[in-house]
Amino acid sequence: MKFHIITYGCQMNVYDSRMVASLFEMDGLEETDNPEDADIIIVNTCSVREHAERRALGRISSLQKLRREKPELVLVVIGCMAERLGDKIPGADFFIGPRKYDRLPEIIKKIVKGKCQISNFQFPKECIPYPNPDGGVTAFLPVMRGCNNFCSYCIVPYVRGNAVSRNPDDILGELRYLRERGVKEITLLGQSVNEYNFGEISFPELLRIIDREALGIRIRFLTSHPAYMSDDLIDAIAECDSVCENIHLPIQSGSDRILKLMERRYTVDGYRHWIQRLRKRIKGIALTTDIMVGFPTETEENFEETLKIVREVRFDFAYMFMYSERKGTKAALFPDDVLLGVKKERLERLIELQNGITREKNEELLGREIEILIERKSRRDNLPIGKTRTGKEVIVKMQNAKTGEYVNVYVESISGWTGIGRTHKREK
């Protein structure tokens, strides 16, 4: 019996797909890369943008041919779109949204037993296994799920439910599990990760607890919300050796009026304050962000304010999007009054500006000696490739640098956005 998983969307979905894979594997099913070989196909979906939903629906529709040829094939849709649309999605057998993930073992048992005649699926429903990293050097580790923020444009709180922070003992259990399997870099996940709070334990405190157990593992975290930034968090990043000098802090817009309509609960000045504190306290920290253009009522002047803050902050990298209306959110009640052509033109201008800055930021690597964690071999020339602590990719001209090794690299050139360097191996 084989299963195949198709994943769309964010890092949390990537993690959830591995969790589902572990559940199927516990029942003796084998994962396959080829959907045609599979007895069960799982499509893990995203609802954050209309485009993401269209892609998943297109894929589900293209799988119908396989379903006709193989009537016993089971098609399962999970993720945010399963929560949002459920059985309104045509052509699938099961729908499991993130709000039901605590029941995944039980539901998967039904799926496996019901249609595929396998009956040896036995473990308590509380026992969701830690996803196996499968030899990977990097892994995701959710520390909280859901979100309470209800930013006016965002569907996540509706489909993923309220924020729930995970017990630190369980987090440490999974961290040790990953460490024992050779993982060298862990990204802590949460929709608004710095809002983490479990009893007395805040997110900065969690970072300190994790740092004591990291033992040579690099730690990153995603996604931070500016409204939950604190000096204590900045101190924790600075103090904890394992925590990388890298923060993803979405600004979304450079206009206070638009930020208010987005219900983001910070101002541009407030955001600027945290950037200054981060840069002062953590030398060389890399800052990445998300920016949305064309939010309802955004004027040319508001957009210029976004360009202004982008020029000022000089982000290392940005994910840039056009606003896309999500039914059921507060922003969907506003008139989507920025014409598509205008949204596209603004996005192009923003991308051109930010890409230039990203290129210049990457060029700052030139001539420097930097620690790289080798993650894999590059596709083009089969050379080891890895990341700096600040999250920048570097190809290493040394065939015998192994995946999972930390090496010190002298960056000699930049190709596209990737550094290329020579190395000396380093003990860690």
Q: Which residues of this chain interact with ligand SF4, rule CB under 6 A?
A: 147, 149-151, 154, 156-157, 191-192, 225
Residue with tokens 């902050």: 313
Where b means 16+ CB within 10 Å and e means fewer, 171-204 reads: beebbebbbeeebbbbbbbbbbbbbbebeebbbb
Residue closer to ligand SF4 by CB (options 94, 153) is 153
Contact 31, 2 (CB under 8 A): yes
Q: Are strands 286-293 and 218-222 parallel, antiparallel or unpaired?
A: unpaired
Residue closer to ligand SF4 by CB (options 187, 388) is 187
Q: How far is Cα 263 from Cα 17, in angstroms, rounded to an integer?
A: 31
Residue closer to ligand SF4 by CB (options 149, 362) is 149
Shortest separation between residue 252's beta carbon and ligand SF4, angstroms: 8
Amino acid at 28: G
Contact 234, 277 (CB under 8 A): yes
Shortest separation between residue 264's beta carbon and ligand SF4, angstroms: 7
Shortest separation between residue 259's beta carbon and ligand SF4, angstroms: 12
Residue closer to ligand SF4 by CB (options 143, 374) is 143
* DSSP state letter for 19: H
Shortest separation between residue 254's beta carbon and ligand SF4, angstroms: 17
Residue closer to ligand SF4 by CB (options 292, 414) is 292
In degrees to the nearest 10, what's the CA dihedral of 284, 290, 296, 297? Answer: 10
What six digits make up the tokens of 321?
């999007």
Shortest separation between residue 227's beta carbon and ligand SF4, angstroms: 8
Residue closer to ligand SF4 by CB (options 53, 185) is 53
Beta bridge partners of 41: 4, 75
Q: How far is Cα 385 from Cα 399, in angstroms, rounded to an integer?
A: 10
Shortest separation between residue 172's beta carbon and ligand SF4, angstroms: 25
Backbone phi, psi, residue 314, to 5°: 55, 70
Shortest separation between residue 331's beta carbon and ligand SF4, angstroms: 11
How large is the angle between the packed helices 300-313 and 268-281, nearest 10 degrees? 10
Residue closer to ligand SF4 by CB (options 112, 144) is 144
Provide the 3-class DSSP secondary structure of residue 286: strand
